[in-house]
Structure 1
Amino acid sequence: MCEGTVSLDETTIGREHDAMPRIEGFAGERINVLARPLMREALGLPVTSRLLVTDCGYFPAAADHLRSRTEGSPQAIVIVCADGAGWCRLPSGRYDVETGQALVIPAGVPHSYGAAGDLPWTIWWLHLGGADVAELVGAVLAGTERPVVRVGDLYQAVSLVEDALGRMERDDSVRSRQAAAGSAWHLLALLAADRTGAPASRSDAIQQAQQYLREHLATRISVAELAALAQLSPSHFAALFRRATGTGVLQYQTRLRMSRARELLDTTDQPIAEIARALGYADPFYFSRQFRSVHGVSPSDYRVQHKG
């Protein structure tokens, strides 16, 4: 069962943090569940027999999110907390989950978890099956009973889950399943490496934010989102970002987009409207104004001048 479902025994968990079980979804959520016949097929094929993403999703500000599995899950569960906070309860005890941490639960371990009542978490999550999962999860948890681990590079962890989810949303082909498995394997390896790594410095956080922006050119990303991933207040993050780059976040992202636009104009024959869409601009006229503000000429004039 995927994360969006609620079982009857969650009413007792709801009393644990003064919340009621939530039946409907969360505004802006994304969920993908691999059909179980396809899951069984994938577990017999190369690559995905070793590691398979069976369910994945994104829950923003998931107030009243509760989940309980008295027999555990057939798959391992990885939940990356990108903002807010949550909690989990395992046979070994109760644990808090904070921004910049991941909750990792091996297959078959009874558990309950949910969002904090005062500051509900925003999470990116995966359910994982396959022959290598137990060993990978064991490397992340290092034999301890504590299921909460630090995420050294939250931007990258979120990007990896987002990539797996995007692949699964695209279609349920063998290729998409294999690509999602690659992202999931990378995530688990990253979490295992983070177990002994030092916390990221503030300069690291800004560099990671810049890389995150480069990898998400088609998405308008707010200062608040980047600050949450860096575990800083928006005002502090904005000041650090401007000090490091000489400009604000939105202006920096616009420059990245226009640099990519120039590259596409130089190297392809794509129509300008198509380039605009690829960079997240629904209105090609607005895109052209942005391009002119950065490069001093319109996209069409730039292309003519370059080819001339």
Structure 2
Amino acid sequence: MNLNNLYFHIHYCNSKQPNDGKKIRTQISRTLQHHELLLVTGGKGSLTLGGKKHLLQEGLIFYLRAGLPHTIEMDEEEPICFYSVHFSYTSIGYDEGAWSIGKVHERLPLPPMRILQNGYLVVDAFQRLTAAWSAKLPGYELLARARLQQLLYEIFLQVKRQNQNHAVALKVEKVIQHMREHLTERLTLAELSDLVQLSTYYLTRVFKQATGYTVIEYFNKLKMDKAKELILDGDKKIKDVALELGFADEFYFSRIFKRTEGISPSEFYSNIVHGV
């Protein structure tokens, strides 16, 4: 699953905080047909998943996928405080100028339950999301969708940092930095593997986990971003742009550009620079 290609629809957001006057049922048993993220910020209670009861505490975040039966019980004296968002999603692709709607996956690659470590960015993102939804100002759905993506980014980052060896994460960042500094060159997977002293197989695996792209796909993506900047300058031929970015074959460069942007470099030049 490439997380960069997901499109989200928010059904609703909810929250319960101390002294806000909201009344919440003390027991809820349900099976949702969509997905929910639930962040506990205080209070007492339990959530039962797959026959296992989890005592609720501040900092626990739950991912309740569609079709997962669960029961939430709350202490009557100290009911839980929380933020929640209910949503559905699908994947959308864009290749060579054509849009496509992909498979609707059963679940996101998130654990059902996790305790946040230094999760203030996740909490802040959740607060911003529920505030945007509750305010109902013009454009709130678009804003809320953007903030859901920000929330998911922070959650995925947390999960990766907790699951992934920190030293390996730094090596992935080192590879990306090396790519940015050598956009005009032709780098190979073997060279990048040697740079961070990882096998090509292992680097390929951890890089895809961290970015959603293969090593070469990511390098070409950076090159295409730079190509657009060079084309927008308006004083370079397409062949010169290709050569500057390490492509000896102008036609191969054009194929990669069109796969990314949906139009050829010359069409991009005409549309953007001359407004044709």
TM-score, normalising length: structure 2: 0.38
TM-score, normalising length: structure 1: 0.34
Q: Structure with the greater relative contact order (CA < 8 A, sep ≥ 6): 1 or 2? A: 2
